[in-house]
Each structure stands twice: as C-alpha cells, then as structure tokens.
Copies of this chain bind each other. A is one copy, B any other.
Amino acid sequence: MCDICFAERGDKAAVETGSYLMPKYDSDGLIVAVVTDFETNEVLMVGYMNGEALKRTLSTGEAWYWSRSRQAYWKKGETSGQVQTVREVRTDCDQDALVLKVTVGGNGGTCHVGYRSCFFRKVDKSVSGDVRLVRTEQEKVSASIRST
C-alpha cells in the first residue's frame, strides 16, 4: 500500500499515450522537472526529483526536489519563503521529464541570486568571439544571495 503509486513502465504505447504516470528516471534515479509560472508559462527554474520527491510534491501540493549538489531532499522555499504551490503537473511522451506549473510564494522570486527566474540571461549573438550573455531582468526581487 502507498498513498501515491506510480505504475510500472509499460510498453511504448502505454508510456507515450496511456493514462498512467510511469516516470522514467535516469541512471542517478532522477527525472528533470521544468518549473513554470502558472499564469505566464515563463520558465523559472529546472530541478530534479527522485520518486520520493515527486510523491512528496504530489501529496503536499508544494514542490520538493532532490539536490544533486547536496545529495539531499530540498523543499523549495523552506528557508526563503519562495514556496512553489503546484497548480499542475505534466509529463511528456516518453515520461522522462515533468513540467510543474506553480505559483511562487514569499517575494515571488525563484533564483538564489535574487531574480524572479533563474533564466535571467539571454545569449547575445551581436558580439563575435566568446558567446556573451545579457540580462533580461533588470530588477532583482530580493538582494538575498541564498534563496533556497
């Protein structure tokens, strides 16, 4: 018995077009989770989950990840208040990726360097040589260095 169960990986048709969540984990036991703003679809961050983090996310409605650098469970916003309330979870055709549509709590930021999205820089191809980045967000939502 478990409160939340994932079906065993089925055949190609069951995985690609079926009606059961059958997550495929990589060799480290992780699945990539793309986190987007529920209202705007903007990509806020990319995180990784193991099966337990995914179960915690689905059962609590708040996003949990597996921190690859710290090798530990990580509830986003536990210290910063930037809790992610999960409004919708999607998976893709081969079920080796997730999209989380979230509403961000606290000051509304996601990135630990202070911006709303971790993707606050875009490639600038106007300069030759090394590829340059330019900021797309001019204002930080917080000056905090740590927003875990």
Binding site for B on A (CB under 8 A): 4-7, 16-21, 32, 34, 36, 40-43, 45-46, 58, 88-93, 97, 99, 111-113, 118-123, 125, 129-134, 136
**Copy count, this protein chain:** 2
Contact B93–A112 (Cβ < 8 Å): yes
Question: Which 10 pairs from chain A and chain B are nearest by CB?
Answer: A41-B41, A92-B118, A21-B131, A90-B119, A46-B97, A89-B123, A7-B130, A90-B122, A93-B118, A43-B99
Task: Kindly list chain B residues whose C-beta atoms are within 8 Å of the C-beta of A19.
Answer: 132-134
Q: A6-B130, A21-B123, A32-B32 are in contact. Are A92 and B58 (CB under 8 A)?
A: no
Q: How far is A77 from B106 in the complex, measured between Cα atoms in Å?
A: 41
User: Per a CB cutoff under 8 Å, which of B6, B32, B111, B122 touches A131?
Assistant: B6
